[in-house]
Structure 1
Amino acid sequence: MVRRTGCINDGKNLHVRCIAHIINLIVWDGIKEHGVCIDRVRNAVKYVKNSPARILRFKDLVQKANIDSKSSLSFDVPTRWNSTYIMLETALKFRRVFSGLSLPDGEDLNDNERPPEPEDWEKVERLVLFLEGFYLLTKRISGSHYVTANKGLGEIASMYDMLNNWEQSEDLNFQAMAIAMKKNF
């Protein structure tokens, strides 16, 4: 027996998930591809921030490198990809400083525990560029003091365009990332 609800498609399209939550799920699927370089930067940040002496040394190297930034290193929160974006964006500003520190290195470390290498910083640079669009999109639609529902369709279309552009990228890692993200889109 078919039950009629009076709704188009039996109401299956009435539940609209939070766009910010959907972006969160999509981005996490994409950044899984870059776990090692993210872990390496995270460990470098942790190494500096876990010691007052290393923080002072870091600040001294920032000054000597003439890096004019009000930013300070921050940890990310495992459940919030945008905090990972902020951590990476900030660390990227200080990449020259990290190379001046004696970060732990040795055969006893796992691959993702090693200090970031130049290739890791290049990946992080492209990853920050990739994630910036999603970060800004999340900020635009996550307002709590103004209505954001009316922006939904345009923002979803904007996200789809971003993924299409990255899917055409010459960088195979980001191409794969965009494809993986579009599957959940």
Structure 2
Amino acid sequence: MRCVAHILNLIVQYGIKDASVSVDRVRGAVRYIRASPPKLTKFNQRVKEEMIDSKAQLCLDVPTRWNSTYMMLKVAEKYERAFESYLRDDHNFFLNLTAGYGVPTFDDWDIVRRVIKVLEPFYHLTLKMSGSLHVTSHSLFEVLTDVHCLFDGWQDCGDLEIISMTSKMRDKYNKYWGEGNKINMLVYLAVIFDP
């Protein structure tokens, strides 16, 4: 049986592929700011000027680990105004990002907010299933029903971007867990015998 957390990882990565350009632009902006202490200091001044009330530090993700991408986006989104202010003050920032994927635009930040909204519940479910100090197999069905309910809720949300993302995620979900006979029979025993 494949690891539940790994399958959740595959589902999420498949779903957020369409948002990769926006994510790459934000990643480039974070990478530029974190490249040197003077840039980070200048950025922190912009945060104060914009009166952004957050103590979270910008963090760079590991692109192959979506949960670190979620954490990077969640923090970076709080500082959207500071990034815009920094862009006006540092011409090298614009030149450097333009050589890559480009500067994050208003539309990119909007997509990032949608990605965060979709990734957050999966982040918490992955933490729940990744426990190493306690048994997690008995909670598989709870996770499966949570994921299924998330998909059902998002199908009716009215946001076409989220519907598209979750539709792809549901396709991947169905590949592994769509039918009861696709799940290893030992998982059923873990649920039945859970005290």
Q: One fold, TM greater than 0.5?
A: yes
Q: Percent identity?
A: 39
Mapped pair 1:178 → 2:160: no
Larger deviation, residues 27-36 vs 139-148: 139-148
> Matched residues in 2 for 1:39 and 1:153: separation?
34
Q: Which residue of 2 aligns with 1:91?
A: 76
The runs of 5 or more residues in structure 2 that have no matched partner are 88-92, 174-195
Mapped pair 1:22 → 2:7: yes
For residue 107 of structure 1, report the CA deviation from its aligned partner. 11
Q: Which residue of 2 aligns with 1:8?
A: none
Larger deviation, residues 133-142 vs 82-91: 133-142
Residue 145 of structure 2 is aligned with which of 157, 172, 175?
157
For residue 105 of structure 1, report the CA deviation from its aligned partner. 4.2
1:113-148 alpha-carbon deviations (Å, 9 max, x no partner): 211111111111111011101011111111111121
Is the 2:73–2:112 contact (alpha carbons within 8 Å) kept by the matching residues of 1?
Answer: yes
> Matched residues in 1 for 2:79 and 2:97: separation?
26
Larger deviation, residues 100-109 vs 114-123: 100-109
Root mean square deviation, CA, Å: 1.7
Q: Which residue of 1 aligns with 2:45?
A: 60
**Larger Rg belongs to:** 1
> Matched residues in 2 for 1:51 and 1:107: separation?
16
For residue 51 of structure 1, report the CA deviation from its aligned partner. 2.1
In the TM superposition, what are the counterparts of 1:67-86 in structure 2 within 5 Å? 67-86=52-71
Q: Which residue of 1 aligns with 2:178?
A: none
Q: Which residue of 1 aligns with 2:183?
A: none
TM-score after normalising by structure 2: 0.81
Is the 1:24–1:81 contact (alpha carbons within 8 Å) kept by the matching residues of 2?
Answer: yes
TM-score after normalising by structure 1: 0.85
Structure showing the higher helix proportion among its residues: 2
Equivalenced residue count is 168
Residue 123 of structure 1 is aligned with which of 100, 106, 111?
111
The runs of 5 or more residues in structure 1 that have no matched partner are 1-15
Q: Which residue of 1 aligns with 2:36?
A: 51
> Matched residues in 1 for 2:53 and 2:161: separation?
32
For residue 106 of structure 1, report the CA deviation from its aligned partner. 8.5
In the TM superposition, what are the counterparts of 1:140-151 in structure 2 within 5 Å? 140-151=128-139
Q: Which residue of 1 aligns with 2:154?
A: 166
> Matched residues in 1 for 2:98 and 2:145: separation?
47
Q: Which residue of 1 aligns with 2:179?
A: none
> Matched residues in 2 for 1:48 and 1:144: separation?
35
> Matched residues in 2 for 1:83 and 1:108: separation?
24
For residue 162 of structure 1, report the CA deviation from its aligned partner. 0.7
For residue 181 of structure 1, report the CA deviation from its aligned partner. 0.9
Is the 1:164–1:178 contact (alpha carbons within 8 Å) kept by the matching residues of 2?
Answer: no
Q: Helix, strand or coil for the counterpart of 1:101?
A: helix
1:10-46 alpha-carbon deviations (Å, 9 max, x no partner): xxxxxx2211000000000001010111011001001
Larger deviation, residues 60-69 vs 123-132: 60-69
> Matched residues in 2 for 1:108 and 1:57: separation?
20
